[in-house]
Chains A and B, each alone.
Chain A
Amino acid sequence: GENVEQHPSTLSVQEGDSAVIKCTYSDSASNYFPWYKQELGKRPQLIIDIRSNVGEKKDQRIAVTLNKTAKHFSLHITETQPEDSAVYFCAASKNSGGSNYKLTFGKGTLLTVNP
């Protein structure tokens, strides 16, 4: 089955700096890669996602890049703010007719943005 590795497990940055979280996946058939943010005691919330037919996607300060050949995708947060502090999870799934859309998650990255 699919396996998703996520690094680093913890990341501490100064406010205004950039943060990068990296994930690798094992199943070349995976075609959907979401990123979720989970604040303490809250539900995971989707912040950005990308499909395998796209190499990069950006939404304001957040961007995701995908390298299908290397089976690698990354989350980039620029101009970090204290409210970006949370646990971030990457995930991968096979989303198409007949597949189960099951998300396989990385183990998470605790991002701390210091004011």
Chain B
Amino acid sequence: EAGVTQSPTHLIKTRGQQATLRCSPISGHTSVYWYQQALGLGLQFLLWYDEGEERNRGNFPPRFSGRQFPNYSSELNVNALELEDSALYLCASRWGAGDTQYFGPGTRLTVL
């Protein structure tokens, strides 16, 4: 069974630009979560998508947004990039009523 995949692996942008990150969940998983892992801050919850709808968001500004497609893959968009947005962005997927979130390898976003 293929795991969660994310693309691209690395992304370099300049301040003010927009970034788009992509995630494909494990087959059969309908929930997708996005987390930000910045240095020294652990993993922080960003967004939760389930069945195509945004269900919850963490304490992040509105320039962090995303969507979930009919095939349950997801996209995270970060507008008006700031230097402090530099981090590893991790996507996780979960099956239905299951407990476990399975993580992808992440996208390393660097904002210059």
Question: Which residue numbers of A lie inside 8 Å of B, CB to CB?
Answer: 32, 34, 36, 42-46, 49, 51, 89, 91, 95, 97, 100-108
The reply to whether A103 and B45 form a contact with Cβ atoms under 8 Å apart is yes
The reply to whether A46 and B100 form a contact with Cβ atoms under 8 Å apart is yes
The reply to whether B55 and A43 form a contact with Cβ atoms under 8 Å apart is no
**If A100-B48, A102-B56, A103-B33 touch, does A89 touch B103 (CB 8 Å cutoff)?**
no
Most chain A Cβ neighbours within 10 Å, of B99, B102, B104: B99
Task: Determine if B101 is an interface residue (Cβ-Cβ < 8 Å).
Answer: yes
Chain B 1-18 residues near chain A, CB threshold 8 A: 4
The reply to whether A105 and B42 form a contact with Cβ atoms under 8 Å apart is yes
Bound-complex Cα distance A107 to B42 (A): 4
Question: Which of B40, B45, B56, B90 contacts A43, CB < 8 Å?
Answer: B90
How far does the Cβ of B59 sit from chain A's closest Cβ, in whole Å? 8
Q: Which residues of B contact A103 (CB under 8 A)?
A: 33, 35, 43, 45, 92, 101
The reply to whether B42 and A102 form a contact with Cβ atoms under 8 Å apart is no
Q: Which residues of A contact B48 (CB under 8 A)?
A: 100-102
The reply to whether B43 and A105 form a contact with Cβ atoms under 8 Å apart is yes
The reply to whether A43 and B106 form a contact with Cβ atoms under 8 Å apart is yes
Q: Which residues of B contact A32 (CB under 8 A)?
A: 99
The reply to whether B90 and A44 form a contact with Cβ atoms under 8 Å apart is yes
The reply to whether A43 and B105 form a contact with Cβ atoms under 8 Å apart is yes
How far does the Cβ of B25 sit from chain A's closest Cβ, in whole Å? 14
